[in-house]
Amino acid sequence: MKSIENLLLVLTIGAITLFAGPGCGNGNLSTDQPPEKTIYTEKDSTIRVAVGMEFSIILESNPTTGYSWKFAADLDEKVIQLVGDEFIPPDKLRKGAPGKQLWTFRRVGAVKTTISLEYLRPWEKTKPPARTKTFSISVTSPTPE
């Protein structure tokens, strides 16, 4: 009977350690973690971000129709650097359903710039883009410690 009690005690202590471990409701939040990056959408036109910080842009995209987002102008890489680019498929896999295109950038310079995108079929050279979107990028101060 003693071994069952010991086993229950060990399991109870293990569960408490697992579910109420460091950082779990104890008020000691780590300041080592970077702040969450902001995600901008087609509704936004101005992006304010501090040098050294990352941000993302997400736009509806449907490559199954042949359309894709492309940069309408080169990025000023002394100010903005592309960190990542990914397609996020739709939640429900319906034929022809749009997904999302997500770009992640890092602000490296302290001057204003823009990110201009166009939604087009790359092989239709003479047709104008179906949609365009330009984001104005300005500098904000870093979050105070």
Return the CATH number at 97.
Answer: 2.60.40.2020
- Domain-embedded: residue 12: no
Rounded Cα–Cα distance for residues 64 and 38 (Å): 28
Establish if 88 belongs to a structural domain: yes
In this structure, is residue 40 part of a structural domain? yes
Q: Is residue 22 part of a domain?
A: no
Nearest to 99 by CA among 86, 111, 90, 112: 90
Which range, of 81-85, 126-130, 137-141, averages the lowest pLDDT? 137-141
What's the pLDDT tens digit per position in 1-10? Answer: 554 454 343 3
Domain count, the chain: 1
Q: How far apart are CA 120 and CA 130, in angstroms?
A: 6
Q: Are 128 and 119 in contact (CB under 8 A)?
A: no
Q: How far is the C-alpha of 13 from the C-alpha of 19, rounded, in Å?
A: 10
Strand, helix or coil for residue 133: strand
Q: What is residue 97's predicted lDDT score, i.e. its pLDDT?
A: 84
Q: At 123, is the pLDDT very low, low, confident or very high (cuts 50, 70, 90)?
A: very high
- Is the distance from CB of 109 to CB of 136 less than 8 angstroms? no
User: Looking at the domain assignment, is residue 26 inside a domain?
Assistant: no
Residue 131 lies in a domain: yes
- Asked whether residue 12 carries a pLDDT value surpassing 70, the answer given is no
Q: Is residue 114 part of a domain?
A: yes
The two three-digit tokens of residue 84, written as one number: 């990542």
Question: Which of 66, 64, 120 has its CA nearest to residue 95?
Answer: 64
In a domain, 119, yes or no: yes
Q: Residue 42 pLDDT > 60, yes or no?
A: yes
Domain that holds residue 66: 35-139
- DSSP-assigned beta bridge partners for residue 61: 99
